C-alpha cells in the first residue's frame, strides 16, 4: 500500500530512531512511503497560540503539498502532534467554509490550494494495525518478544479528540490497539492504567514542577507494574519520558530507570532485525538490560560528538567542552 509520509521535524532530528525503524519495517509489511515534498513544520502546539490563520495556513501548506501526490490520498504521520495538527486542519477546513476560504486565500499567495477532506490523515499506528493488520504482522514474527514486560503508552493526541465523522481509530479513554499489537509480537503486555494520560508536552519549559510531576507519574506507574520498558508512538512522548527522565529523577531525588522505545522498534526486533538497524542504542535511558531478557544485543553507541557550527544558535556549553 502507498502512503504519503509526513516525518515532522522531530523525526528528522532527535527522533531519527523512530524514522529509521519505521522505514525498516515498511518493506516487510508492504507499505510504501512517499515523503511529502518540501514539507514544513506543522507548528506543534506553539504557532496556534499566537496567530490562528497563520497556524492553519502553515499546516495547510503540507496538506496542499501532499495532495499533489496522485498515487495516494492517504497521509501518514508518525508524530502524534503532527498527526493531530494535520487532521484538525483538514477537519476544520471541511467543517467551516469561511476558514477554508481564508486559508486558501493565504495558500494562493504561495501558489497552492487545498480542499478540506481531500486527504485522509492517519497515524502510523492506525495504518499498521488496521491496514496491514495483526494477522499479517503475526505471520512475520520470527523472534517473539517472549518474557519482555512492556507498558504500552499512547499519550493523548493520538486517541483524542474525536474529530469529523470518523472520530478516532481507538478508544479515547482506554485504547487497546498498541496492546494487541505488542501481544501479537509475543510480549507480556501490562494493563497500564496511565496509558492514555498526558506526558505534559512542552510543560517542562513552562513549569518544571508541573512538567516533571506528569513525567514522574508515568515512569512510576510503569515501574510499579514491573514493566521492563515503555513502548511509545510519539517522538515528543519519547523525548519527555526518556531524555527528561534523568532531570526528573534529580528533581524528585528518585532513581527510576525505565527505558522508552518506539513500537516500530519492537516490531523490527520481533521480525528478527538487529538492534542497531532500528536505531536502538540512541535512547538515553539504557535499554540494554531490558533487551538482554529477549536475547537482543545492543552494540555500544559510538560517540559522535558534533561541534556546533559557527552560525549555530546559542547552546548551553556542556561540561566536557570546557
Partner 1 sequence: MSTVSVSLTQEGSRKKSFLEEVIEHTPGDCRLSSCIQCGTCGGSCPSGQDMDHTPRAIFAMISAGLKKDVLKSNTPWFCVSCYYCMVRCPQSVHITDIMYTLKRLAIQEKMYDDSKAPDFSKTFIEWVENYGRAFELGLMSMHMIKHNPFGVFKMAGMGMGMISKGRMAFTPTRIKGMDSLKAILNKAKELEAMA
The residues that touch ligand SF4, with contacts defined as CB under 6 A, are 8-10, 41-44, 79-82, 155-157, 198-199, 201, 234, 236-237, 240
What minimum distance in Å lies between the beta carbon of 286 and partner 1? 10
Rounded to whole angstroms, the Cα distance separating 83 from 124 reads: 9
Rounded to 10 deg, the angle between the 80-95 and 52-67 helix axes is: 100
* Residue 40: Cβ within 10 Å count: 12
| 23 contact, one of ligand SF4, partner 1, none, CB 5-8 Å limit per kind | none
Rounded to whole angstroms, the Cα distance separating 146 from 135 reads: 18
Question: Taking contact as CB under 8 A, which single stretch among the options 90-98, 138-146, 255-263, 288-296 is the one that binds partner 1?
Answer: 90-98
The yes or no reply on residue 161 touching partner 1 (CB under 8 A) is yes
Rounded to 10 deg, the angle between the 97-108 and 80-95 helix axes is: 110
The yes or no reply on residue 92 touching partner 1 (CB under 8 A) is yes
Element (H, E) at 55: helix 52-67
Q: Could you write out the DSSP letters of every residue in 286-302?
A: --HHHHHTTT---PPPP
Rounded to whole angstroms, the Cα distance separating 18 from 12 reads: 9
DSSP character at residue 198: -
For residue 161, cis peptide bond before it (omega within 30 degrees of 0): yes
Residue nearer to partner 1 on the CB measure, 113 or 118: 113
With a CB cutoff of 8 Å and minimum separation 6, the contacts of 59 are: 42, 43, 85, 86, 88, 89
* Residue 286: Cβ within 10 Å count: 13
Record the cell numbers describing residue 90, joined without a space. Answer: 483538514
What minimum distance in Å lies between the beta carbon of 234 and ligand SF4? 4
- Residues 177-196 binding partner 1 (CB under 8 A) are none
Stretch 112-151: interaction string toward partner 1, x if CB under 8 A: x---------------------------------------
What minimum distance in Å lies between the beta carbon of 144 and ligand SF4? 28
Residue nearer to ligand SF4 on the CB measure, 58 or 270: 58
Residue nearer to ligand SF4 on the CB measure, 104 or 232: 232
The yes or no reply on residue 35 touching partner 1 (CB under 8 A) is no
What minimum distance in Å lies between the beta carbon of 2 and partner 1? 23
Rounded to whole angstroms, the Cα distance separating 241 from 209 reads: 15
Number of shown-chain residues binding partner 1 (CB under 8 A): 90
Please state the length of the chain. Answer: 322
Stretch 257-296: interaction string toward partner 1, x if CB under 8 A: ------------------------xxxx------------
Residue nearer to partner 1 on the CB measure, 94 or 183: 94
The yes or no reply on residue 43 touching partner 1 (CB under 8 A) is yes
The yes or no reply on residue 313 touching partner 1 (CB under 8 A) is yes
The yes or no reply on residue 111 touching partner 1 (CB under 8 A) is yes
| 75 contact, one of ligand SF4, partner 1, none, CB 5-8 Å limit per kind | none
The yes or no reply on residue 236 touching partner 1 (CB under 8 A) is yes
Residue nearer to partner 1 on the CB measure, 16 or 223: 16
Element (H, E) at 71: none
Residue nearer to ligand SF4 on the CB measure, 24 or 157: 157
Rounded to whole angstroms, the Cα distance separating 127 from 159 reads: 14
The yes or no reply on residue 52 touching partner 1 (CB under 8 A) is yes
Record the cell numbers describing residue 183, joined without a space. Answer: 501481544
Amino acid at each position: 500500500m502507498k502512503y504519503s509520509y509526513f516525518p515532522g521535524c522531530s523525526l528528522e532530528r532527535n527522533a531519527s530512531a523512530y524514522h529509521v525503524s519505521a522505514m525498516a519495517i515498511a518493506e516487510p509489511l508492504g507499505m510504501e512511503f512517499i515523503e511529502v515534498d518540501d514539507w514544513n513544520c506543522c507548528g506543534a502546539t506553539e504557532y496556534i497560540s499566537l496567530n490562528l490563520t497563520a497556524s492553519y495556513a502553515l499546516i495547510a501548506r503540507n496538506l496542499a503539498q501532499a495532495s499533489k501526490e496522485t498515487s495516494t490520498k492517504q497521509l501518514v504521520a508518525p508524530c502524534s502532534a503532527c498527526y493531530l495538527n494535520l487532521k484538525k486542519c483538514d477537519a476544520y477546513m471541511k467543517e467551516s467554509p469561511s476558514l477554508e476560504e481564508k486559508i486558501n486565500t493565504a495558500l494562493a499567495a504561495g501558489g497552492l490550494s487545498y480542499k478540506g477532506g481531500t486527504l485522509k490523515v492517519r497515524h502510523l499506528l492506525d495504518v499498521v494495525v488496521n491496514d496491514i493488520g495483526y494477522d499479517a504482522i503475526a505471520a512475520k514474527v520470527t523472534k517473539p518478544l517472549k518474557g519482555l514486560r512492556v507498558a504500552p503508552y499512547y499519550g493523548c493526541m493520538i486517541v483524542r479528540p474525536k474529530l469529523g465523522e470518523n472520530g478516532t481509530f481507538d478508544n479515547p479513554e482506554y485504547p487497546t490497539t498498541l496492546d494487541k499489537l505488542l501481544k501479537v509480537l509475543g510480549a507480556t503486555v501490562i494493563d497500564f492504567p496511565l496509558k492514555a494520560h498526558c506526558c505534559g508536552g512542552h510543560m517542562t519549559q513552562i513549569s518544571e514542577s508541573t512538567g516533571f510531576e506528569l513525567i514522574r507519574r508515568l515512569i512510576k506507574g510503569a515501574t510499579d507494574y514491573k514493566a521492563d520498558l515503555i513502548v511509545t508512538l510519539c517522538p515528543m512522548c519519547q523525548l519527555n519520558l526518556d531524555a527528561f527522565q534523568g532531570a526528573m529523577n534529580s528533581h524528585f531525588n528518585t532513581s527510576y530507570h525505565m527505558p522508552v522505545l518506539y513500537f516500530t522498534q519492537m516490531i523490527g526486533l520481533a521480525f528478527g532485525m538487529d538492534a542497531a538497524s532500528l536505531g536502538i542504542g540512541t535512547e538515553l535511558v539504557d535499554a540494554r538490560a531490558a533487551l538482554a531478557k529477549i536475547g537482543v544485543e545492543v552494540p555500544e553507541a559510538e560517540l559522535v560528538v558534533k561541534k556546533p557550527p559557527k552560525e549555530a544558535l546559542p547552546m548551553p556549553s556542556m561540561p566536557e567542552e570546557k
